[in-house]
Amino acid sequence: MSELKFEVQQGWEDFKIVWLMRYERDKAFNGYMKKGNLLWQEVKEDSDTSNLIPFLKIPGYGINLSGLVDALSNKVPSTKEIETQSELKATKYHLEDMRKLVFETQEEKEKK
């Protein structure tokens, strides 16, 4: 199972650097765009990270893009969160079905 995470870093001068990281077990990958395709580059613990290509560079010269940066860095649910939400939703529907069965059975008994 992998987890995606956006990380925002203050760049030189007045711009932000947005990194797209994917974590799988004990490995990390840097995501970047090339000719419209998302490519992944493995990041090793002791490797030089200066050659990594950022996912996005956002200029800040009088342009307020803080909403975009916030959305990229904070609003993307992890794979674990999505799994948990799906399990909770399935449990909710299961409980609703069980309630219907119990209460319908009781109503039928009361009618007789």
pTM score, two decimals? 0.51
pLDDT tens digits, 21-80: 899 888 999 999 999 899 999 998 877 777 888 888 877 665 666 666 666 665 556 667
Whether residue 85 sits in one domain with residue 70: no
With beta carbons less than 8 A apart as the criterion, state whether 18 and 5 touch. Answer: no
Residue 112 pLDDT: 63
Whether residue 100 sits in one domain with residue 50: no
Q: Which tokens sit at 107?
A: 């109503």
Amino acid at residue number 79: T
Whether residue 82 sits in one domain with residue 50: no
Please give the residue range of the domain that contains residue 2.
1-76
Whether residue 87 sits in one domain with residue 56: no
Res 111 pLDDT > 90: no
For residues 2 and 85, the model is more confident at 85
